[in-house]
Amino acid sequence: MSTETTSAPAFRYAAVTFDCPDPAVLARFYGEVLGLPVAFSSDDFVMLGEQGAPGLGFNRLADYRRPTWPDPAQEKQAHIDFGVDDLEAAEARLLALGATKAEFQPEPDRWRVLLDPAGHPFCVSNLT
C-alpha cells in the first residue's frame, strides 16, 4: 500500500449554461441585461463574459422544451436572481428586451418573476 498522498484537484466556477432553441437570441438577451460581451460564439453555443472569467453559456438543444412555472408536475430546478435599485424600471427594461412576466407572482411587492425569451424563469428583486 502506497503512503504517497495526492492532492485534490483544484476546482473553480466556470459558467452556468442554459439549454435553449437559439443560443444567439438568448445570449443577446442576457448580454443586454448584464452588459456582458460575447467571449465565444458558434452556431450551437454562445458564452458571455470576459475571457478567463466565469460566464453564462447558452447551448442549442434540438428538442428543447420551455420550462413551465409554476407547474407542480415540472418544477424549475434553478434560476437566476437579479438585484436592482428600481424594481419597476428594471421590470420595464427586461420586458422591452424580450422577457415576459410570469402569470403567477408570489410576492410582487418584493420581487418579480419573469421568463427569458426561451422560457427560463428568473427573479428580479429590490436591493433595498
- Residue 65 burial class via C-beta count within 10 angstroms: exposed 0-12, middle 13-18, buried 19 and up: exposed
pLDDT at residue 76, rounded to an integer: 54
Q: Does CATH place domain 13-62 in 3.40.50.300?
A: no
pLDDT at residue 13, rounded to an integer: 75
Domain boundaries, the chain: 13-62, 80-128
Residues 79, 122 contacting (CB under 8 angstroms): yes
How confident is the model over 44-82, as pLDDT tens digits?
Answer: 999 999 987 889 999 999 999 888 877 766 655 667 888
How confident is the model over 81-104, as pLDDT tens digits?
Answer: 888 888 999 999 999 999 999 999
Mean pLDDT of the residues in the chain: 87
Q: Does CATH place domain 80-128 in 3.40.50.2000?
A: no
pLDDT at residue 105, rounded to an integer: 92
Instruction: Check if 13-62 and 80-128 are the same fold.
Output: yes
pLDDT at residue 1, rounded to an integer: 56
Give every CB contact of residue 45 below 8 A, 6+ residues apart in sequence.
Answer: 23, 57, 58, 59, 60
